Amino acid sequence: MFPRNSVGLFRGNSEETKFCVSSEFPRKFLGIFRGFHFPSECPSEYRCFLVVYEYISNGTLADNLHGDQAQSRPIDWPGRLNIAIQTASALSFLHASGIIHRDVKTMNILLDSNYQVKVADFGLSRLFPPDLSHISTGPQGTPGYVDPEYYQCYRLNEKSDVYSFGVVLSELISSKKAVDITRSREDINLANMAISKIGNDSVHELADLSLGFARDPSVNRMMISVAELAFRCLQQEREARPSMDEVVKVLREIQEEGESDAPDVVEVEVRSGDEAALLKHGVPPVLSPVSEKETSGSNTTTTTSSSSRTRKSSF
């Protein structure tokens, strides 16, 4: 058993130290390592093993954004924003613990039965001593998600995860893949597309309109705010990118503002039958001409009485 609040270290075939999150490590939003499995058919000289994690029923975020589940059970905008917050919280926790994930992508973000996040696959992760500005190491990761400065300069630090998370945010906003060779040349890489569209104030050309971007003002504001955060995460210069702590803070503020923008629900009695209608924005039901005639007498009396009371109370 690994010590509480620690990571389990082991060596893979590459002799590079890697780690797994043990069941004693704080579990929230992190996929939990259960153990190793050594296949009997694997030759001993290759030291093969499988890393066993807890079972996550709803698969990967990539499946839910781009696969079959995207059609059968699409995730709405509030759900996507919640996923972004939980993923950012997991990465913030890892960075505070001196760990760089190094392979942040939608394939490594798992969703349980309640669509709660479990960040997984720490095969490329590195321990990052707090007294260092970076680690010099060969670039590794998944095309479309790799920090360009890390790729060009061989310098890894926690801002490399921030860049990758910016790509994930762009996927949540657009429902587009990180790399898609069927798109035009300049848009094959989603990070480049996002930088261009957001920088030119054309978020509507990036956003998945089915999420309510055009029809719901609250969703529109939240998606634009998240797009602006993604833009910051995707900056070429690391110094211009926020920390994961700041990312979590901004995302939570966006969520809180969105919830406060939610329209009021007003209960209005409907004359026909004993039904009651819940109306958004306090808009009353449209009465038919017959209903208007039938109730005109009582409505006139009520209106006059109400307006009189209003005028008296205003002085």
- Alpha helices for 22-133 (secondary structure H): 61-66, 69-72, 77-96
What's the half-sphere exposure (Cβ side, CA atoms, 13 Å) at 80? 28
CB 108 within 8 A of CB 121: yes
The one catalytic residue in 63, 68, 76, 103 is 103
CB atoms within 10 A of CB 14: 9
Dihedral angle sign, alpha carbons of residues 236, 121, 2, 13: negative
Cα first-last separation, the chain: 76
Q: Which of 242, 66, 225 is nearest to 161 (CA)?
A: 242
- Coil, strand or helix: which one is 122? coil
CB 103 within 8 A of CB 208: no
Q: Which of 276, 190, 174 is nearest to 224 (CA)?
A: 174
Among this protein's residues, is 112 annotated catalytic? no
| CA-to-CA separations, 227 to 36, 77, 137, 198, 219, in angstroms, rounded | 40, 13, 31, 7, 12
Residue partners of 280: CB distance under 8 A and separation at least 6: 263, 264, 265
Residue showing tokens 């999150």: 21
Residue partners of 314: CB distance under 8 A and separation at least 6: none
- The tokens describing 81, both together, are 């924003």
| CA-to-CA separations, 46 to 19, 43, 50, 66, 227, in angstroms, rounded | 19, 6, 13, 35, 45
Task: Tell me which residues are annotated as active site.
Answer: 103
